[in-house]
C-alpha cells in the first residue's frame, strides 16, 4: 500500500471523530442517498429524520476536520440535496460555492415520467474567500485558437458530462454506485494541491484513493464494508493506463491553429495540460491533429515513433 494512502475499515462517524481538527485539506465524498441500496453488509434504508440526523452528524465532523482554506464536495440525490444545502449553510455556517450537475447519457429508464440523467454535487468552503481553487488545473480546451484567449483553456462550468462506469468497463468493480474517476480528478485537481490530505468518509469502491494515488495527494478513505476495503486495495495495485473516464472536451483540438510554431507548441502543451492523466487517449488526439491539419504535423510522428516519451511530453 502506498504510504500516502490510508484505508480505514469502520463506521464513518466513529472514525472521523478520531481524526484531528483541521487536518484535512479537501473532503470529496459520495455518501449513501438513503435509496435502499444494498452495500453488502449494510443498507441505506433509514427513516427520513434518522437519515437527516446521520447526515447532520457527519457533516459537522467534516467541517471540524477541514483546514481553514479547505473545501467539501458532496454528491447527493434530489430527495435530500436541499436539506444538505440547508444544513451546510444555515446550521454549520459553511459557504456555498457551486452546485454542480453531473450529466450522464444513460441511466434509469422510466415509462411514466422523465428518466433521470444527472446527479448533483454541492461544493462548500470553510471560508468565503480564502480557499484553494486551481482553475488552471481543470480548464478545458478552447474551440478556437485566439491569441487573446487563455490558451490553458476555459472554465469547465458547473455542468460536467462524464459517462457512467458501465459494467463492460474493465475498471468496473462490484459496487452499486461506483463513480467515474474523471469526476474525482476534477474535484481533487481544482481544490487541493500536491501533498495535501484528501478524505472520503464513504470510500466505496476506492475511486478517491485511486485518483489521489495518481495525482500525488495523501488520501484517507473510510469504509464500513471489509469487502470494499479489499476491492480498493486490489484496485490500487493495478497498473495505471489512464483514468477510467474523461470529459470529452479535453480531447478537443482548437480550430485555426494555422501558424506552424504556435501549433506545435500548443500540441505539446495540450497533452501536458489536459491529457496528463489520460495517456490512453493521446493517440486519438494526435490522429485528430493530423486529420484536421492535413498531415502537416511532424511532431505527432515524433511522439508516435517514441522519439519523445510520455514523461518528456508532460514534464
Cell of 92: 454549520
Return d(Cα 212, Cα 5) in angstroms, integer: 8
Q: What is the pLDDT of residue 1?
A: 46
Q: What is the model's pLDDT at position 37?
A: 59
List the helix and strand counts (H, then E) for the chain.
10, 8
pTM of the entire structure?
A: 0.88
Gap between the Cα atoms of 215 and 187, Å rounded:
12
Burial class (CB in 10 A: 0-12, 13-18, 19+), 194: exposed
Which residues does residue 170 pair with via DSSP β-bridges, in sequence order?
A: none
Mean pLDDT per 10-residue segment, the chain (315 residues): 83 97 97 67 74 96 98 93 97 98 80 85 98 97 86 94 67 64 97 98 94 97 94 93 93 90 90 94 92 67 55 55
Amino acid at each position: 500500500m502506498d504510504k500516502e494512502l490510508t484505508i480505514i475499515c469502520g463506521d464513518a462517524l466513529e472514525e472521523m471523530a478520531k481524526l484531528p481538527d483541521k487536518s484535512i485539506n479537501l473532503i470529496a465524498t459520495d455518501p449513501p442517498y438513503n435509496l435502499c441500496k444494498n452495500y453488502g453488509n449494510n443498507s441505506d434504508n433509514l427513516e427520513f429524520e434518522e437519515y437527516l440526523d446521520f447526515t447532520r452528524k457527519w457533516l459537522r465532523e467534516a467541517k471540524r476536520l477541514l483546514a481553514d482554506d479547505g473545501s467539501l464536495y458532496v454528491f447527493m440525490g434530489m430527495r435530500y440535496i436541499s436539506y444538505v444545502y440547508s444544513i451546510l449553510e444555515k446550521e454549520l455556517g459553511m459557504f456555498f460555492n457551486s452546485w454542480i450537475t453531473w450529466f450522464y447519457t444513460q441511466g434509469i429508464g422510466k415509462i411514466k415520467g422523465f428518466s433521470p440523467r444527472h446527479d448533483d454535487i454541492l461544493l462548500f468552503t470553510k471560508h468565503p474567500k480564502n480557499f484553494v481553487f486551481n482553475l488552471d488545473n481543470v480548464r478545458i480546451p478552447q474551440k478556437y485558437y485566439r491569441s487573446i484567449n487563455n490558451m490553458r483553456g476555459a472554465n469547465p462550468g458547473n455542468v460536467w458530462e462524464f459517462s457512467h462506469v458501465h459494467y463492460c468497463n474493465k475498471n468496473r468493480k462490484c459496487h452499486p454506485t461506483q463513480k467515474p474517476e474523471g469526476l474525482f480528478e476534477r474535484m481533487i485537481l481544482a481544490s487541493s494541491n500536491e501533498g495535501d490530505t484528501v478524505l472520503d468518509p464513504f470510500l466505496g469502491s476506492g475511486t478517491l484513493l485511486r485518483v489521489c494515488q495518481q495525482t500525488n495527494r495523501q488520501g484517507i478513505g473510510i469504509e464500513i464494508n471489509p469487502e470494499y476495503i479489499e476491492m480498493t486495495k486490489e484496485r490500487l495495485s493495478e497498473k495505471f493506463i489512464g483514468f477510467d473516464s474523461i470529459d470529452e472536451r479535453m480531447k478537443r483540438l482548437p480550430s485555426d491553429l494555422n501558424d506552424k510554431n504556435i501549433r506545435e507548441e500548443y500540441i505539446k502543451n495540450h497533452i501536458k495540460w489536459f491529457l496528463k492523466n489520460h495517456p490512453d487517449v493521446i493517440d486519438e488526439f494526435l490522429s485528430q491533429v493530423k486529420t484536421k491539419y492535413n498531415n502537416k504535423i511532424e511532431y505527432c510522428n515524433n511522439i508516435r515513433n517514441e522519439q519523445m516519451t510520455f514523461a518528456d511530453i508532460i514534464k
